[in-house]
Structure formats: C-alpha cells, structure tokens
Amino acid sequence: MAGTRELRHYAKDTYYVTSFAELGLHAPILKVLAAGSYDSPTPIQAQAIPHVLAGRDILGIAQTGTGKTAAFALPILHRLAGDLASGNRKRAPGRACRALILSPTRELASQIEERFRFYGRHLGLSATVVFGGVGGGPQIRTMAKGIDVLIATPGRLLDHMSAGFIRLDHVETVVLDEADQMLDLGFVVPIRRIIAALPARRQSLFFSATMPKEIARLASSFLKDSVTVAITPVATTVERVEQRVIMIDAERKRAMLSEILHDPAFTRTLVFTRTKHGADRVARHLETGRISAAAIHGNKSQGQRERALADFRKGQVRVLVATDIAARGIDVEAVSHVINFDMPNVAETYVHRIGRTARAGAAGIAISLCSHDERGQLRDIERLIRQPIPMTDRRGLSAQLGEGAIVDDNVGRPGKHGEGHRHRHGRRGSSRGDNGQRQSHGHERPQDAQKQGQPRHEAPRQPHKPRPQDQQPRGGSNHRPAGLNMVRRPRPGLQHGT
C-alpha cells in the first residue's frame, strides 16, 4: 500500500516488548491488567499500541482471538486520560464524544464496551454503547451529557445523528473493528456518511482478521500516513484449529448434524448457517432430536439474543446456531467445536467463523458440511487459507454403492433431461439380474432365437452398430431416457437363412 510502512511478522517487527509496563501505559491501566493476569502483550498489541500512542493511523491485521480489542482500547484510554497527575483532563461537551468505535454487530459492540469499562475502571472515563433493537431513550439521555467513548453500530448511530442527538465534530479517534465487514458493500455507504461528519484532524484505526485487497484499497482512502501491522498472513486460520470437511447431500445435512452432535465430546458448539430462517430450522430440528439449541440472528430481539448467548455461556444450551453476521460478535470461551452447516459465500467469512474456537491459545475443531453445489466455495476457502482441508465423503451414493465404492465428483449433477445419479457400475435404463449380469430392455432378434437350429456351416449374422433410426426406446416412447441399453430391431423381410 502506497505511503504505508508494513510490519509483517512479529519476529521482524520494530518493537520488541515483553511487558505492558514497557509500553508506557498509565499506572491505573497496568493495575487492571495485572489483576486480570495479563502478563505480556500479544504480537498485535505489542506492535500496534506504540503507533497508536504516537498518534499514527493503523491498519491492523491479526487472527481472531489474538487481542485486537485491547490493541486499540488500551492506547485510546491512555490518551483520553491525559495527565492524571495534574488532573488536567479534557471533557467531551454535551451530545458529543471523544472516541468513536464502530462495530458491525450488537454483540460485538456490547463486548467492546465491556472491555473499555474493564480496562478503564480506575480512570473515571465514561463509555456507552448504541445499537438498534432496543429503546433509544436511555441512549439519548446518556449521550446528552457528553461521552468519552461511544461504541455504536452504523445504523443506529446515523439515526441519532439525523435527529441531532449526537455530533461527531469532537471525535479525536475513530475505530472500525472488523474493518473488512464494515467496509463491505452493505456498510460502505453508512461508513462514508459517518466519516464525512468527522473532523479532518483525527486518528483512524482499522482492525480486522482478514483484509482482502479491494477492501484494503478502500480503507487506505480513509487513512493518512498509516502503518500496516500484519502479524500473520492475511486470512491465515488459527493454527490450533483442526479442520475437516464432510461431503454430504444437501437434503441429509440436518440428519448428519444430529448424528455429529449426539457425540458427548461436542460440549459447546457453534453452528453457522447462511440465512436467518435456516438458523431457526436447524435449531428446531436439533430441539426435536433432544439436543439443546438456540438460534441467534438479526430477526431476534436484543433480549432474545442476549438470553441465547447467556445460556450458551452458562452451558444451559449445548448448541448455538448463528448467521454469518453474528460470527463477528460472538466471543465465548471454551467453544469446543464450530460447524459450518452452510459453506459461506465469502471465503474470508470462513476464517471468522472457525476463529470462534481455539481462542486464547486453546485447541478447537471446525467441521464443514459441504454439499455438491458448494464445492466452489470450498475451493475458494482452500485457496484463501493456502492449505487443503481433510475430507470425508458421506454422500448418499456412497452408501448405495457400498463400502469402498468409487464416487465421481460429478455424482448427483442433474442433466438437461432431469437425469439422475450416474456412476461407473451401471447406467440408468438398464438393470441387473440375480446373477449380476446386465439385462437389456427391448426386443430380441429373431435370428438369435433360432440360432440353435441353424446349420453348422453357416455363421450367425454379425450385428452392426445400430443406426439412430433403428433404435427403439422401452415402451415405444419417442423420448429415449439417457443411458438406456438399446437393441437392434429386426429388419422387415429379413429372416435367418433367407
């Protein structure tokens, strides 16, 4: 990226930091970190925090679960606190904020606010969260007093801006968390409107687990004199996640999911679907099979979403079924498995999904149920993460053919006449007898029936390749089913020996 100094790997970075104290953070922040057993910064924290403290714009890229929130929360709190010894602290005026953090989901916004309150509990700074799905009255009353840190989703923030309940002309630092999702097609227009309302002199921080090139180019237009901190290769999956793919017919996915989840090893499992209605259907199916499950997606009220997440955290629900957008906001410890019920349409989403397990150095397992028409998505994912994923074939045709049958990749692909499955052991339109020999459907040649009585010196007439007009489908239909074994019709006036 032009004008950007890149820090690609921790071992080659400029900053070698082994403790938070070396970063020069305020003592009250260090006290909280020590009490929370935060011994040393993660690579993204060690490399990003010094640049943020220096006032630089940041494009931070690191795997999910590596501490990106603290990488921007800690230096922002430090800068907002000012000179604690002299008591000289700047205050936000009414209906304004000093730091703005934008999040794509309500859940992620709530978790960011929780982290800001935790890290800054000895600083006396104010923080609030703003998102849709709840009443706006309490949010309006809180913002009217002036806020140090405002965490918001773009839609609800624009509503408050349009009504005059919040203005952004006093923002000193703006953060886009999960920047690739925020700047994707669905968010780019709201983000541009929000950015346009910010002062020209500001600090901009973008953090994400993935950063496709086209999104990085868009982000660069919002950043000035920025530093790119890429701790791991873009879209590299967490190393401690064991990945598997099960090839399965689409109509058998729910049965396969139930079979998998009856294993007691699946103690706390996240299941991702492509649609909201799909999430509800999967959750109902699991509940019918006596597997405790709950669904979380955009159509649920905020109360329903919070209860589902709380039950999942407490272990009262073994399975949480979520849509793609919720993948960015779920931060639950000890998730043992992630299951992709539907393969994501965007390959980068796969990284975010499986990143919900193996957090904070723990191990985890990610299983993807891939149907025939989702193989393109699977190829895109393997290309993105630069590695093949071990595969097991559980498609229905394997069971029909028996153990060890060779299944072709084109199995189950319908033809233009609605043809069914084809495989190397036979074709549709023919059958096998009890002895396993192929039986043809059609007319028997008269000369074959009389073959036993023919003179020894006469050789039987050799069959020739049937012409199209000589072929006759079973039942006399003008339409020949694909793969039907045809036989030659007797030619008029021609009998054996004549």
Helices 27-35, 68-81: inter-axial angle, 10-degree rounding: 150
Distances (CA, A) of 126 to 117, 173, 471: 8, 15, 85
Q: What are phi and psi of 176, to 5 degrees?
A: -110, 105
On whether both 220 and 285 belong to a single domain, the answer is: no
Of 487, 377, 371, 481, nearest to 440 (Cα)?
487
On whether both 137 and 262 belong to a single domain, the answer is: no
Instruction: Please report whether residue 463 resides in a domain.
Output: no
Token pair for residue 138?
A: 């309490």
On whether both 224 and 332 belong to a single domain, the answer is: no
Q: What are phi and psi of 367, to 5 degrees?
A: -120, 130
On whether both 225 and 247 belong to a single domain, the answer is: no
Instruction: Please report whether residue 164 resides in a domain.
Output: yes
Which pLDDT score, from 0 to 100, does residue 409 have? 40
On whether both 251 and 184 belong to a single domain, the answer is: no
> Which stretches of 105-146 are assigned E, i.e. beta strand?
127-130
Q: How far is CA 244 from the centre of its chain?
A: 15
What distance in Å separates the CA atoms of residue 370 and residue 490, rounded to the nearest whole number?
50
On whether both 138 and 256 belong to a single domain, the answer is: no
On whether both 170 and 313 belong to a single domain, the answer is: no
On whether both 25 and 69 belong to a single domain, the answer is: yes
What distance in Å separates the CA atoms of residue 352 and residue 242, rounded to the nearest whole number?
15
Instruction: Please report whether residue 362 resides in a domain.
Output: yes
Q: Number of folded domains in the chain?
A: 2
Answer with the one of 230, 259, 274 that is the final residue of a domain: 230
CATH code: domain of residue 279: 3.40.50.300
Which pLDDT score, from 0 to 100, does residue 427 have? 40
Instruction: Please report whether residue 396 resides in a domain.
Output: yes
What distance in Å separates the CA atoms of residue 450 and residue 489, rounded to the nearest whole number?
15
Residue with tokens 């070698």: 16
Instruction: Please report whether residue 19 resides in a domain.
Output: yes
Q: What is the 3-state secondary structure (H, E, C) of 323-343?
A: EHHHHCCCCCCCCCEEEECCC
Instruction: Please report whether residue 420 resides in a domain.
Output: no
Answer with the one of 165, 198, 230 that is the final residue of a domain: 230
Domain that holds residue 35: 5-230
Instruction: Please report whether residue 295 resides in a domain.
Output: yes
Which pLDDT score, from 0 to 100, does residue 79 have? 92
Which pLDDT score, from 0 to 100, does residue 243 have? 95
Residue 272: Cβ-neighbour burial (10 angstroms; 0-12, 13-18, 19+): buried
The torsion defined by the Cα of 466, 469, 474 and 479, in degrees rounded to 10, comes to 130
What distance in Å separates the CA atoms of residue 182 and residue 329, rounded to the nearest whole number?
13
Token pair for residue 179?
A: 């920047």
Using only C-alpha atoms, the chain has a radius of gyration, in whole angstroms, of 32
On whether both 139 and 277 belong to a single domain, the answer is: no
Of 271, 252, 319, 269, nearest to 292 (Cα)?
319
What distance in Å separates the CA atoms of residue 150 and residue 102, rounded to the nearest whole number?
8
On whether both 287 and 381 belong to a single domain, the answer is: yes
Q: Do strands 431-432 and 438-439 pair parallel, antiparallel, or not at all (unpaired)?
A: antiparallel
On whether both 302 and 179 belong to a single domain, the answer is: no
Instruction: Please report whether residue 418 resides in a domain.
Output: no
Which pLDDT score, from 0 to 100, does residue 475 have? 44
Taking a C-beta distance cutoff of 8 angstroms, is the pair 287, 311 a contact? no
On whether both 9 and 111 belong to a single domain, the answer is: yes
Answer with the one of 368, 401, 434 that is the final residue of a domain: 401
Q: Distance from first CA to last CA of the chain, Å, rounded? A: 87
pLDDT tens track of the chain, all 498 residues?
333 333 333 333 455 678 899 999 999 999 999 998 788 898 899 999 999 999 999 998 877 677 889 999 999 999 998 866 566 678 889 999 999 999 988 888 998 999 999 999 999 999 999 998 888 999 999 999 999 999 999 999 999 999 999 999 999 999 999 877 776 657 888 998 999 999 999 999 998 877 777 777 778 888 988 999 988 665 556 677 899 999 999 999 999 999 999 999 999 999 999 999 999 999 999 999 999 999 998 788 878 888 998 899 889 999 999 987 766 666 777 899 999 999 998 888 888 788 888 765 567 899 999 999 999 999 999 998 889 999 999 987 544 434 333 343 433 333 333 333 333 343 444 444 444 444 444 444 444 444 444 444 444 555 555 554 445 444 444 444 444 344 444 444 444 443
